[in-house]
A and B are shown apart, each in its own frame.
Chain A
Amino acid sequence: MASLSLKHIFKVYDGGVKAVNDFTMDIADNEFIVFVGPSGCGKSTTLRMIAGLEDITAGELRIDDEIVNDYEPKDRNIAMVFQNYALYPHMTVYENMAFSLRTAHVPNDVIYEKVTEAAEILGITQYLDRKPKALSGGQRQRVALGRAIVRNPKVFLLDEPLSNLDAKLRTAMRAEISRLHERLKTTFIYVTHDQVEAMTMGTRIVVMKDGYIQQIDTPINLYKYPDNMFVAGFIGTPQMNFFDATITKNGEDVVYKLDCGPSIEMKYIHTDKVPLKYMDSKTKVVFGIRPDDVRVRSNKYVDDGMWAPLQAVVSVVEVLGGETIIYANLNLDTPDDEVGAIIIKADPDTFVKRGDIIDIELSRRKFHVFDKTTEQSIRKRIPQENIIKGNITNNTLEISSQEFKLPSAIKAEDVKDTEVIIPVSAISLGNGVGKAKVEWIEQIDNIVLYFLKVGDLTIFAKEEGTPRFKINDEVSFEIDLSQITITASSVQPLNLVNRLDGVFIKEKENKNDYNFFMKIGEHKLAPSNRICEKLFACKGPKIFNTDLVYEFNTKDISVLTVKEPNKLIGKITEVLDYGTKKYSKVDLSCGIITVEYSGQIGEEVVLDIDVDKITIIDKSIDIIIV
């Protein structure tokens, strides 16, 4: 019965190996969280850090709003089940389950009550006086669960508890653990490398790879909307089919030309979430489709808009009874080649054999597109950016014959047909100079995604809450021009995050007292107690020899009117006018930062930074300390 919060958790081993990178997640009460990933991805390390068996290098772990980084495992009120059960072999089942209570000096009758109750839940009452040696694998696993239950913990941690069991028992125990979660109404965190376990048990799944979180979402969302190729390939069996491809747009027609030969024809409406810049017939993308979303056609093809026809040559057929898995190739000349290989989950009544050429259909709705180099999805559920083409004339941005006057801070040369990137979050609806028609609305959890038709372009905008507009409404919109990128004239979004190199120093005040300062160039800032504690907890006395990076948001900087000690002082070098908001660039002689302030060039300003909002990064190993 507890919520957990992990904030920027890092684990760095002595040799400098980073096992866990920036793990940030909030876990609500009564959730069943599954960490899944290939071996060595840091999932067990994260679990052990939550348990307290490993130190947390940097970051903040809270259980029920209490920071528990430095708590002993027993004080964290957690229980853990190990992969090899870790039962005490010389004790009976009863003593195994009672050990933690005995350590806590619980009276004997209470122990008896609790152990028998737990044994009843798990159905191991008749084995209580046996030694673990005399139990089967499944029974031992139950004892291990029982040992956890008697402690009545806030959080259950399970480290691959089923991987030592055989396949049949594993399925049975899977259901049993799910039932146990229902019954105990406690937060469960479960580590596994088996995606089936993850999909069947978790309320939310954390997919990890190489110490980084790849995606956190519900099982069905992970399956339907993977963020990147790794998640797409990891979740789901058989694995998703990937094909290298290029995309060509011709009016309303879009063609995915696969490198292995065939092309998939679609309408723009099927693929409108893919940014236009990928539809230039050159940029390499990866087209992905799940075996479930491919079907074998037996009758004549009728184009209902939902399915794209293709042909494939069969390589191997696996008849599983309930379904038939067909391994085929889209390149009809090379049935056994890696390139062009496609796996199809077909109806059990499909009778095909090796060498057959079959007609297949690919779903035009349920497919995925990834950037070839970054491997990130470019057909995200909620797009991050609108990447469109526009013209610039006379410092005016023209998108689909709508004009947006660029503020004086943006100096763009006249150019035609240039790439303009507008973050989805930079578009606000309701008022402004832009006019658009709402083409479609999607409600995704708490976010409303609008498809806006601007001329012949589709632009995305998002809002929180419920839809304010209806389909076909005419809306006006505004673009936050400080956030746009114009590739041709090297206009970059205004950087509102300032990064400055610095160190942490101590100065002797008198015999026994030291003052600590965050030193940035020649400037000194007084840190809060919280910052000092965290820096020392992470690095110890080495902190004074560590190169740090101080990062702070522009909105956390305020300009003071009078000079005060231990503040940043600098000269304004540039004033940026974005119409509604004005910013100044301030030279601190050790770096330039952006401040939301309208001043004169050359003016000296005193800046106050909200130190509690500062982020401190260890420069050499790149971990966030505060």
Chain B
Amino acid sequence: MMKKEKKIKVKSYVSTSPDAQRWAEIDKLEQSLNKKKKKPRSMKFWRIFGNTTGQIVLSILAIIWIIPLIYLFVQSFRKEPGAWSPTFFPQTWTLDNYKRLFTETKFLRWYGNTLLIAIISCAITAIFVLAVAYAFSRIRFKARKPMMNIMLILGMFPGFMSMSAVYFLLKILLPNNYQSLLSLIIVYSAGAALSYYIAKGFFDTVPKSLDEAARIDGASRFRTFFKIILPLSKSIIIYTILISFISPWCDYIFVSFIMSGVPDTGMYTVSLGMYKWLEREQIQQYFTTFCAAAVIVATPITALFMWLQKYYVEGVTGGAVKG
């Protein structure tokens, strides 16, 4: 609107007035334009100011978060025994803690147990979640909506609320060895489908016409899922695998509950075994070993995250539809 009005003004001026007045008019216009130019400058200032403040706050938070990790890491190389050390960095550095971990304790056994449980239940969980999510995303059946809602609500309750029920169910299911690795695998993977929601949200973004095209091409639902949809869903598969690997890997509550009272410490997972080291009688002796173990436990997950990070951001449907 403003522009139009100005134009008309200038025009009327041209037809009636001499040159000098025209120049004055143009000057005025320029001045008003210059005034406007100042605004972006202040915007830039605010942006830089905001960014800097944000960076500073985040840096402080990051330092606060990383201090315990660094402490844990350096303490794993401490030679002096005991749970408490007067200095942040150890006075004498050694690798003995790691050596002791693998020679004197059952850590390697626990590590193997945990890895086994995590890998198996991670595989089962990934298949469950992806299949359930695909079904909810693509197939229309009567119970779809109610089932989705029920699963969503059930998924909102913390898992350990059902702990005692799970314990008795396992006792019925595996009367002879309910305190075993198998029962742990069942516990971690059985309820996996409840976390279908993110994967379903992802499948919803994969165009339905791909399924239809495959159907017309003669592919069964199974083939469509494995040949068309899964190859397009790398990022969600990796996300699902990561999440389902971490939960049994780091879980303490279920293990401690199900394995409580098991005399054979060889059945423990790392979290349970390591927690035992922190008990009052043992902490003096085992604290530095605990730190070393913690570093080793954290390594594979950290590595996994760093390796697979890029898939989080990768666009997958490029080229499928116009875009």
Contact = CB atoms under 8 A, between A and B. Distances in A.
B51 to A, nearest CB: 34
Interface in B183-211: 207, 209-210
B193 to A, nearest CB: 26
Interface string A124-145: 0000000111110100100000
Given A82-B209, A85-B321, A90 B223 contact: no
A133 B213 contact: no
A80 B213 contact: yes
Contacts of B318: 89, 133
A78 to B, nearest CB: 7
A236 interface: no
Interface string B296-323: 0000000000000000000011111110
B218 A89 contact: no
A74 B218 contact: yes
A415 interface: no
A137 to B, nearest CB: 6
Contacts of B316: 89
A84 B216 contact: no
Contact of B215 (A53, A85, A140): A53
B217 interface: yes
Interface string A58-69: 000000000000
Contacts of B67: none
Contact of A132 (B209, B219, B228, B320): B320
Interface string A77-104: 0111011111111100000000110011
A73 B317 contact: no
A164 interface: yes
Given A89-B232, A90-B231, A90-B232, A84 B215 contact: no
B214 interface: yes
Given A89-B319, A133-B318, A133-B319, A84 B218 contact: no
B218 A53 contact: no
A300 to B, nearest CB: 43
Given A80-B213, A86-B209, A86-B210, A104 B218 contact: yes
A140 B321 CA distance: 9
B80 interface: no
A255 to B, nearest CB: 49
B25 interface: no
Nearest to A153: B216
A89 B231 CA distance: 9
A88 B228 contact: yes
B96 interface: no
Most chain A C-beta atoms within 10 Å of own C-beta, residue among B210, B213, B231: B213
Interface in B213-252: 213-219, 223, 227-228, 231-232
B319 A86 contact: no
A84 B219 CA distance: 19
Contact of B319 (A73, A87, A103): A87
B212 interface: yes
A100 B209 contact: no
Contact of A86 (B207, B218, B227, B231): B207
B218 A87 contact: no
Contacts of A99: 214, 217, 219, 227
Nearest to A73: B216
A137 B321 CA distance: 9
A147 interface: yes
Nearest to A53: B212
A151 B213 CA distance: 13
A73 B214 CA distance: 10
* Interface range on chain B (Cβ under 8 Å from partner): 20 to 34
B222 to A, nearest CB: 11
Most chain A C-beta atoms within 10 Å of own C-beta, residue among B210, B214, B228, B319: B319
Contacts of B231: 90
Contact of A84 (B209, B227, B232): B209
Interface residues of A, number: 32
Contact of B322 (A53, A72, A104, A137): A137
Given A53-B212, A85-B322, A86-B207, A103 B217 contact: yes
Most chain B C-beta atoms within 10 Å of own C-beta, residue among A80, A85, A86, A135: A86
A56 interface: no
A578 B188 CA distance: 85
Contacts of A164: 322
Given A88-B210, A89-B232, A90-B231, A74 B217 contact: yes
Most chain A C-beta atoms within 10 Å of own C-beta, residue among B212, B214, B216, B318: B216
B320 A88 contact: yes
Contacts of A481: none
B227 to A, nearest CB: 8
Most chain A C-beta atoms within 10 Å of own C-beta, residue among B207, B217, B218: B217
B146 to A, nearest CB: 15
A147 B217 contact: yes
Interface string B139-157: 0000000000000000000
Most chain B C-beta atoms within 10 Å of own C-beta, residue among A82, A88, A151: A88
B216 A87 contact: no
Most chain A C-beta atoms within 10 Å of own C-beta, residue among B219, B228, B321: B321
A247 B47 CA distance: 73
Contacts of B317: 89
A131 B319 contact: yes
Contact of A103 (B210, B219, B321, B322): B219
B319 A134 contact: yes
A312 interface: no
A74 B224 CA distance: 13
A137 B319 CA distance: 10
A231 interface: no
A19 to B, nearest CB: 16
A84 B319 contact: no
A397 interface: no
Contacts of B319: 87, 89, 131-135, 140
A258 interface: no
B210 A74 contact: no
B209 A74 contact: no
Nearest to B233: A90
A51 interface: yes
A83 B322 CA distance: 10
A84 B321 contact: yes
Interface string A393-426: 0000000000000000000000000000000000
A52 B217 CA distance: 12
Contacts of B215: 53, 72-74
B108 to A, nearest CB: 41
Nearest to A144: B213
Contacts of A90: 231-232
A104 B317 CA distance: 26
A86 B212 contact: yes
B213 to A, nearest CB: 4
A131 B231 CA distance: 14
A140 B323 CA distance: 12
Contacts of A74: 215-218
Nearest to B232: A90
A144 to B, nearest CB: 8
Given A74-B218, A100-B217, A100-B218, A89 B320 contact: yes
Contacts of A137: 322
B216 A103 contact: no
Given A89-B317, A133-B319, A51 B218 contact: no
B320 A87 contact: yes
Question: 8 closest pairs, A vs B, by CB?
Answer: A133-B319, A74-B218, A100-B217, A86-B209, A86-B213, A84-B321, A132-B319, A89-B320
7 contacts: A72-B215, A74-B218, A84-B320, A86-B207, A86-B321, A89-B318, A103-B219
Interface of B: 207, 209-210, 212-219, 223, 227-228, 231-232, 316-322
Given A84-B320, A85-B320, A99-B227, 14 more contacts: A72-B215, A74-B217, A80-B213, A80-B216, A82-B212, A85-B322, A86-B207, A87-B213, A90-B231, A99-B217, A103-B217, A103-B218, A104-B218, A147-B213
